[in-house]
Each structure stands twice: as structure tokens, then as C-alpha cells.
């Protein structure tokens, strides 16, 4: 099913021509931003210098820090009266990043969400419960207006009160949900405790944090949904940038709206198809806040062209954000890898916390994980065996020795928004 078949399947010369035209327009628009005016002058780039898609390499990158430095409205290319909405991103340190939208921006954004959800097979006949934060986080209002555009019955349930969420799913016959994968897991746990089955559900849209294939099968089994991966970031409107089609093998990114590059994060060089690197995106249709070659920090790759659904080239599922990545004794570790390991071990739960400390100048990683209620025999030796098993499996997957702490079921924090499972305390050491 298509929402906008022409644009969704645009390819070849036609697509390139559109991209070049829109890229030029984006450069023109960005010249209303002091930062870009200066940058482009320094780099001697004018809109007319862009003749082919490849010419984008003449433009310098934009980093998240640049946006932070522009706080609050330094990157707005239109007067504030034209900005009809503001969102901010959840910055972990310092000031948040502010993003603004014109009326046209909001419309473009809702169109993208409508494309995504239609691609996943949901229609105006579906009842949609949107279980993410409705405040400054873009996931709430973003999906809300996209789903309304399709004509779905939208329940803006936001986060919190999981029991009430479950009651609504049951009572309102909800077919489609959107939330973070970790909240979906929590939802299934609570439903199980309530002895409630969520039979009306059929589609789960999960995003805002990286999640593994094991997590997908687990969520599909527990919730009885087909699970779709949703990717986006506030700087590029929010969710809606890339999404899975029913093939669920990579995410379609909308090439008429986003110019996609994969680069080597160290050298900035473009990488070819199948090579993993940092995703760099230039949005091609943004008015309030144009961006040029924005470094997302997310690690992925361009996949081989030619999906059965006939839409454009896909990107691989995000394996982690480069800023989520931990470097432990020189080894790169993504929290999603730890989750993947734990999901395979039935004796422990799926929630976890990671603590990183510096002990005698060495990085030490501690993973707290809940013992699974059904696997507690009452014997200390069995617990020790489970602990050893987790240490071993983590070692096999990460090539890293970790300390594993078994904790009581239900004692680890559950996250309704973006999960913050990593506490890096290395900076605290003297």
C-alpha cells in the first residue's frame, strides 16, 4: 500500500533532478541563517555550484554541537512569526537543541508519517494508541498528526499508567501501537501480570532507540503484533525519516525529502553501498530550519537497491548512535548488543542497567540484570551458575569481561521514554 506512490518510488534521473533542484533551494534557504551564510562563503559554495548530486561534497558538515551553539533560535531561516511550533531534543548534557517548524514543515512531516504508516499496512480502519511523550519530544505530536492524516482513530494516550494503557487497548479495540521497544516490553510484562491478552493488536511501531532482531521476535510473540522499526530525529522533523516496509529488511528512507550519505566518521569520506558508517542527511524540504549535511551520529549503511515493494534504496537498521557507543578498554560496545545477549538467556529478565567505572585506571563494566522469577530454584549454586552463564555469553558477544550482578525481579528502572540504561561514571574518578 502506498500513500504517495509517485514520490515514494521515484528513482534514477528523475529523482536526481528533483534532489539537485531541492538541494539548491535548501542552500538558498540556509543563507538566511547566519551560521550557514558564513560557512558557505568560507567554503565558496553557491547554489549554482550544485549541478549533480555528488556536488554536495563541496558543502561542509553540520554537527549537533553547531546546533547547540545556536541556542535558542540561531538556526531559524524564517522570522519567528512564521514558526508555528517548537520542539526540543532530549540533550543529555547542557542546553537542548531547539527545532522549529513552519506550517508547510508540519504538513511535510505529517505526509511522511502517513507514508510510513500506510507502508506498514495500517489504514483509516485502524485504531491507533500513541504511547509516547506528547510534550517537547517529537514522537508524540509527529505520529499523532500523521495518523490523523490517514484518518486513523487516534488515542493520544501519551506515557504513564501502564495498566490504564492496557485497559484502553482492550476496551477501544486498539490495532496499532507506537512506543519505544523497551516500553513495549514493559507493557507486555504488565499485561501478563494482569492476565490480560491484547488480542486486538496487530501492528507495533517501535522507535526512538536501537533494538535488536531478537527483541523484535520477542515483542511480536508477546504482543501478537507485526513489529516495524521507525527511525527519525528531531533535527530532521522527528520520526518519519525512515521506516520498514512489510519486508522488514532495512528501512526505506525518503529520498525525495532527504539526501542520504554514509561517511567514514573519522575522515568524512563518503562510503559505498554495504559499508557501515555514520549517516549524514541533508533534508531537502525544510523551511524553518534547513540543515546541510547533518551528521546524525547514527551508524548504518546503504543497502543494495531493489526492494520487492519497489520503493527506493534502504538503509540498514541502526546499530547504535555513535554517542551511545561505549568504549570499554578500547572495545566498542553498544547497549543494543547487551540487550541482544540477555534476550537469549531465559533465566534472566530483559531489563538491564550498565555501569562503567574506572578501577585502578582500568575500565570496569557492570551489568545489572534481573533474575527471572520462574528460574529461581532457591539454591545459591543455581544462581551462581546463571550469573556465570551471563558473564560467559556477554564475553562471547562483546569480547569483554564484565561483572554481572543479579538483582531482584522488578527492581530495575522501566523506561517509558528513551531508555537510559548506561551510567558512565568514569568521569567521576579522580
Q: Shortest Cβ distance from residue 189 to other proteins (Å)?
A: 13
Rounded distance, CA 203 to CA 226, Å?
5
Are 423 and 385 spatial neighbours (Cβ–Cβ below 8 Å)?
no
Site residue total, other proteins (CB under 8 A): 17
Instruction: Mark 377-396 with x for binding to other proteins (rule: CB under 8 A) and - for no binding.
Output: xxxx--xx--x---------
Q: How many CB atoms lie within 10 A of CB 178?
A: 29
Candidates 47, 60, 265, 409; binder of other proteins (CB under 8 A) is 409
Q: Does 407 bind other proteins (CB under 8 A)?
A: yes
Q: Are strands 348-359 and 422-424 parallel, antiparallel or unpaired?
A: parallel
Candidates 161, 408, 420, 423; binder of other proteins (CB under 8 A) is 408
Compare residues 94 and 413 and give the one whose CB is closer to other proteins. Answer: 413
Q: Shortest Cβ distance from residue 381 to other proteins (Å)?
A: 8
Across the strands, what pairs with 170? Answer: none
Q: Does 411 bind other proteins (CB under 8 A)?
A: yes
Burial level of 46, CB count in 10 A (0-12/13-18/19+)?
Answer: middle
Compare residues 78 and 371 and give the one whose CB is closer to other proteins. Answer: 371
Element (DSSP H or E) covering residue 155: strand 153-155
Compare residues 362 and 380 and give the one whose CB is closer to other proteins. Answer: 380
Q: Please state the three-class secondary structure of 83-146 as a single string.
A: CCEEEECCCCCCCCCEEEECHHHHHHHHHHHHHHHHHCCCCCCCEEEECCCCCCCHHHHHHHHH
Are 258 and 241 spatial neighbours (Cβ–Cβ below 8 Å)?
yes
Q: Point out which span in 99-107, 224-232, 324-332, 401-409 binds other proteins (CB under 8 A).
A: 401-409
Q: Does 197 bind other proteins (CB under 8 A)?
A: no
Across the strands, what pairs with 362? Answer: 359
Q: Point out which span in 172-180, 253-261, 280-288, 402-410 binds other proteins (CB under 8 A).
A: 402-410
Compare residues 306 and 378 and give the one whose CB is closer to other proteins. Answer: 378
Q: Does 373 bind other proteins (CB under 8 A)?
A: yes
Q: Shortest Cβ distance from residue 340 to other proteins (Å)?
A: 23
Candidates 121, 357, 406, 424; binder of other proteins (CB under 8 A) is 406
Are 354 and 339 spatial neighbours (Cβ–Cβ below 8 Å)?
no
Rounded distance, CA 354 to CA 363, Å?
12
Q: Does 308 bind other proteins (CB under 8 A)?
A: no
Q: How many CB atoms lie within 10 A of CB 107?
A: 13
Q: Shortest Cβ distance from residue 379 to other proteins (Å)?
A: 7
Q: Point out which span in 250-258, 312-320, 328-336, 408-416 binds other proteins (CB under 8 A).
A: 408-416
Q: Point out which span in 57-65, 101-109, 277-285, 372-380 binds other proteins (CB under 8 A).
A: 372-380
Q: Does 413 bind other proteins (CB under 8 A)?
A: no
Q: Does 399 bind other proteins (CB under 8 A)?
A: no
Q: What are the C-alpha distances in Å from 214 to residues 12, 160, 408, 412?
A: 35, 26, 23, 21
Q: Is the peptide bond before 72 cis (omega within 30 degrees of 0)?
A: yes
Q: Does 376 bind other proteins (CB under 8 A)?
A: yes
> What's phi and psi for 360, nearest 5 deg?
50, 50
SS3 at position 215: helix
Compare residues 123 and 411 and give the one whose CB is closer to other proteins. Answer: 411
List the interface residues with other proteins, window 352-371 (CB under 8 A): 371
Q: Shortest Cβ distance from residue 215 to other proteins (Å)?
A: 24
Q: Shortest Cβ distance from residue 338 to other proteins (Å)?
A: 18
Which residues in this chain contact other proteins in the complex, by CB under 8 A?
A: 371, 373, 376-380, 383-384, 387, 405-411
Amino acid at each position: 500500500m502506498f500513500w504517495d506512490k509517485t514520490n515514494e518510488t521515484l528513482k534514477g534521473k528523475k529523482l536526481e533532478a528533483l534532489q539537485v533542484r531541492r538541494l539548491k533551494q535548501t542552500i538558498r534557504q540556509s543563507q538566511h541563517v547566519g551560521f550557514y551564510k558564513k560557512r558557505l562563503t568560507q567554503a565558496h559554495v553557491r547554489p549554482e555550484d550544485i549541478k549533480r548530486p555528488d556536488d554536495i561534497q563541496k558543502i561542509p558538515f553540520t554537527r549537533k554541537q553547531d546546533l547547540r551553539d545556536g541556542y535558542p533560535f540561531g538556526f531559524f531561516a524564517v522570522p519567528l512569526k512564521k514558526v508555528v511550533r517548537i520542539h526540543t531534543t532530549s540533550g543529555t548534557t547542557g542546553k537542548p537543541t531547539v527545532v522549529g517548524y513552519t506550517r508547510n514543515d508540519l504538513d511535510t512531516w505529517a505526509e511522511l508519517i502517513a507514508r510510513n504508516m500506510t507502508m506498514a499496512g495500517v489504514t483509516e480502519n485502524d485504531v491507533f494508541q500513541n504511547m509516547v511523550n506528547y510534550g517537547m519530544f517529537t514522537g508524540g505530536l509527529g505520529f499523532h498528526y500523521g495518523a490523523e492524516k490517514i484518518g486513523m482513530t487516534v488515542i493520544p494516550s501519551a506515557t504513564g499508567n501502564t495498566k490504564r494503557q492496557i485497559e484502553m487497548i482492550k476496551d477501544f479495540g486498539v490495532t496499532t501501537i507506537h512506543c519505544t521497544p523497551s516500553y513495549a516490553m514493559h507493557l507486555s510484562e504488565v499485561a501478563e501480570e494482569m492476565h490480560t491478552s491484547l488480542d486486538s493488536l496487530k501492528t507495533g511501531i517501535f522507535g526512538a532507540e536501537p533494538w535488536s532482531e531478537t527483541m523484535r521476535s520477542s515483542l511480536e510473540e508477546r504482543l501478537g503484533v507485526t513489529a516495524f522499526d521507525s527511525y527519525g530525529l528531531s533535527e530532521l522533523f522527528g520520526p518519519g525519516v525512515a521506516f520498514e516496509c512489510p519486508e522488514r529488511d532495512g528501512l526505506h528512507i525518503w529520498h525525495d525529502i532527504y539526501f542520504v550519505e554514509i561517511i567514514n566518521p573519522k575522515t568524512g569520506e563518503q562510503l559505498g553501498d554495504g559499508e557501515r558508517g555514520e549517516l549524514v542527511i541533508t533534508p531537502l524540504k525544510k523551511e524553518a530550519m534547513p540543515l546541510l549535511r547533518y551528521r546524525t551520529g547514527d551508524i548504518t549503511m546503504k543497502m543494495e537497491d531493489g526492494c520487492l515493494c519497489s520503493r527506493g534504496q534502504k538503509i540498514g537498521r541502526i546499530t547504535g548512535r555513535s554517542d551511545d557507543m561505549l568504549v570499554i578498554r578500547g572495545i566498542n560496545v553498544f547497549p543494543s548488543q547487551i540487550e541482544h545477549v540477555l534476550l537469549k538467556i531465559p533465566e534472566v529478565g530483559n531489563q538491564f542497567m550498565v555501569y562503567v567505572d574506572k578501577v585502578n585506571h582500568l575500565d570496569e563494566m557492570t551489568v545489572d540484570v534481573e533474575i527471572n522469577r520462574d528460574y529461581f530454584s532457591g539454591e545459591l549454586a543455581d544462581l551462581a551458575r546463571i550469573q556465570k552463564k551471563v558473564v560467559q555469553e556477554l564475553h562471547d558477544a562483546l569480547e569483554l569481561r564484565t561483572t554481572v550482578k543479579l538483582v531482584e525481579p522488578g527492581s530495575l528502572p522501566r523506561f517509558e521514554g528513551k531508555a537510559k540504561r548506561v551510567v558512565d561514571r568514569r568521569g567521576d574518578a579522580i
